[in-house]
Amino acid sequence: MSGVLVAVVGPSGAGKDTLMEAARAALARDDRVTFLQRTVTRPAEAGGEDHRPLSREAFLAERDAGGFALWWEAHGLLYGLPRAALEAALASGRVAVANLSRRVLPEAAARHPLRVLEITAPPAILAARLAARGRESAADVARRLSRRAPLPAGLPVKTVVNDGSVAAGAEQVVRALRGRPG
């Protein structure tokens, strides 16, 4: 039995982490779905997603030893998906959910059964959420919003528009992870 990797993608401010955390809670008793923890060269106390922090040097050593099924660099940080966790989930027939970069989707699709879950929101909502974070200037937010890359062609994609309540968005994510329409 082979599982599937569900790659969660979407722009900053779309609410990916919020909806994934709510979906994780809703699916806590469903052993068919597992959420994979990424390794990131960011301190644990930096906030955001629950990740496994590593120094850049330790990350590169683990990467060179084959410890990551997929890895990429974005915004000055290195991100990796642990090989052992992904392979165990797929071998047991589970849906393995992970937040990935659009740039690694072709590689992910070449190596693993893959579905894409795109979480997005209208531009005005994205801009407001990014501004509320207070991490970037208005010019930086505008630049970030203008550089959205399209998804690679030919991949199965389900899109969730996160423009309502967390509960409504999380319900859409849960339905998508369980392979149900709507």
* Binding-site sequence positions for ATP: 10-17
Q: How many CB atoms sit inside 10 A of residue 139's CB?
A: 8
Is 161:155 a contact under the CB 8 Å cutoff? no
Sequence-ordered list of residues with C-beta below 8 angstroms from that of 122, at least 6 positions apart, any chain: 161, 163
Residue 168 sits at φ, ψ, to 5 deg, of: -65, -45
What are the start-end ranges of the E strands in 55-180?
A: 68-74, 77-82, 95-99, 114-120, 157-161
Rounded CA gap, 149 and 128, in Å?
A: 20
| 33 membership: H or E segment, kind and range | strand 33-35
Going by their DSSP bridges, the two strands 68-74 and 114-120 should be labelled as: unpaired
| Binding site feature residues | 10-17
